[in-house]
């Protein structure tokens, strides 16, 4: 019986969900295999993205067998995805207490400890992995991230400067001393804020109906007083794009822009940070700047570099 259940588990690992589900129905349930059958049903639910029933199944298993390793790990992953960090950490710690401890559980526990600022604990976990597996690349990468976090600090002045800059860029155009004609033209063009104005060039402005040299010069003079210029932000974006012009960019970039972010090979920490951003496709991710990403909670330089490298594989870059 055990061999049959093991075979079904292997089918699930290979993505043969339908075959595994069919084989599972042929196994009679008994007290001895009840927990394992429930776990495998839960895993099938999870593979079919029915996470609510999957978690229900895992919890049923843990009620019967609190030390069930598979149910503990899968439930911890689902709790983490749903933001229940306390439950996730408790289950990952339960998995980590096993001898030998599953490396995947140790890795996830280390990431969550780092996110909570428990750096010594995260470092100890990762060192325990490297003691047994000195060439484990993922553990090495995370250990570097944890050790660099010791030297990180919150630059309050820099944060205030960014907030001040954003407040200025979000100033409505109607607040500026412009003629009625210029304000009306900008409103018709849907140029509402200073940020919008700095993202548009002279040629584009002059291409709009009823917008002439007089209005153009008036707006340029107003911006000059603030040490700003038309198209200033646009030029920055264009320079970012031109910097990658010599790279091998795929012909159909639009296909890559529609790809889900989940296709990027990112660390757990980076994926969780991007979930807070709310973007789902590479195109949406590329619409954000480095500065915007750095404002995300628990998002650091290591994650930024990782994301930029992954985007470069598709010939893409941040705004």
CATH assignment at residue 173: 1.10.150.20
* Range among 119-123, 175-179, 197-201 rated most confident: 119-123
CATH of the domain at 95: 1.25.40.10
Structure tokens at 53: 């029933």
* 319 inside domain: no
**What pLDDT score was predicted for residue 151?**
60
Residue-number span of the structural domain to which 215 is assigned:
156-234
Domain stops at, among 183, 200, 234: 234
Question: Which of 108, 107, 109, 121 lies closest to 149 in space, CA to CA?
Answer: 121
Whole-number average pLDDT of the chain: 80
Based on the fold, state whether residues 17 and 141 are members of the same structural domain: yes
Based on the fold, state whether residues 91 and 25 are members of the same structural domain: yes
Based on the fold, state whether residues 6 and 143 are members of the same structural domain: yes
In the chain, the number of structural domains is 3
- Which has more pLDDT, 47 or 254? 47
Residue 64 scores a pLDDT above 70: yes
User: Mapping DSSP to helix (H, G, I), strand (E, B) and coil, where does residue 154 land?
Assistant: coil
At 125-135, the pLDDT tens digits run 999 999 999 99
**What pLDDT score was predicted for residue 53?**
92
* 279 inside domain: yes
At 252-306, the pLDDT tens digits run 555 677 778 877 878 777 777 777 777 778 888 888 877 778 777 767 777 888 8
User: Mapping DSSP to helix (H, G, I), strand (E, B) and coil, where does residue 319 land?
Assistant: coil
**pLDDT band at 110; cut points 50, 70, 90:** very high
Structure tokens at 256: 């890559």
- Which has more pLDDT, 314 or 254? 314
Q: Is the pTM of this model over 0.75?
A: no
Inter-axis angle of helices 85-96 and 69-81, to 10 degrees?
150
Q: Quick one: 43 exposed, middle or buried, by C-beta within 10 A (0-12, 13-18, 19+)?
A: buried
Reported as half-sphere exposure (CB side, CA atoms, 13 A), residue 1 has a value of 11
* 242 inside domain: no
* 243 inside domain: no
**What pLDDT score was predicted for residue 251?**
43
């Amino acid at each position: 019986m055990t061999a049959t259940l093991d075979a079904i588990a292997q089918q699930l690992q290979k993505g043969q969900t339908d075959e595994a589900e069919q084989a599972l129905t042929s196994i009679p349930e008994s007290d001895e295999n009840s927990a394992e059958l429930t776990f495998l049903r839960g895993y099938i639910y999870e593979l079919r993205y029915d996470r609510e029933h999957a978690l229900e199944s895992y919890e049923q298993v843990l009620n019967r067998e609190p030390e069930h390793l598979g149910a503990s790990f899968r439930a911890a992953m689902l709790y983490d995805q749903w933001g229940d960090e306390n439950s996730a950490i408790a289950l990952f710690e339960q998995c980590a207490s096993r001898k030998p401890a599953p490396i995947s559980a140790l890795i996830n526990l280390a990431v969550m400890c780092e996110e909570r600022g428990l750096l010594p604990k995260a470092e100890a976990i990762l060192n325990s992995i490297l003691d047994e597996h000195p060439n484990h690349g993922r553990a090495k990468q995370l250990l570097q991230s944890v050790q660099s976090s010791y030297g990180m600090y919150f630059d309050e002045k820099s944060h205030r400067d960014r907030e001040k800059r954003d407040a200025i860029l979000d100033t409505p155009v109607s607040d500026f001393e412009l003629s009625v004609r210029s304000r009306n033209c900008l409103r018709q063009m849907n140029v509402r804020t200073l940020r919008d104005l700095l993202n548009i060039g002279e040629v584009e402005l002059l291409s709009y109906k009823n917008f002439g040299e007089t209005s153009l010069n008036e707006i340029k003079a107003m911006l000059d007083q603030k040490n700003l210029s038309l198209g200033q932000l646009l030029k920055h974006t264009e320079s970012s794009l031109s910097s990658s012009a010599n790279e091998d960019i795929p012909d159909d970039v639009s296909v890559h822009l529609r790809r889900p972010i989940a296709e990027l090979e990112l660390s757990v920490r980076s994926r969780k940070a991007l979930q807070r951003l709310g973007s789902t496709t590479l195109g949406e991710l590329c619409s954000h700047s480095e500065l915007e990403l750095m404002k995300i909670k628990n998002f650091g330089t290591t994650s930024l570099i990782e994301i930029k490298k992954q985007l470069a594989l598709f010939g893409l870059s941040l705004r």
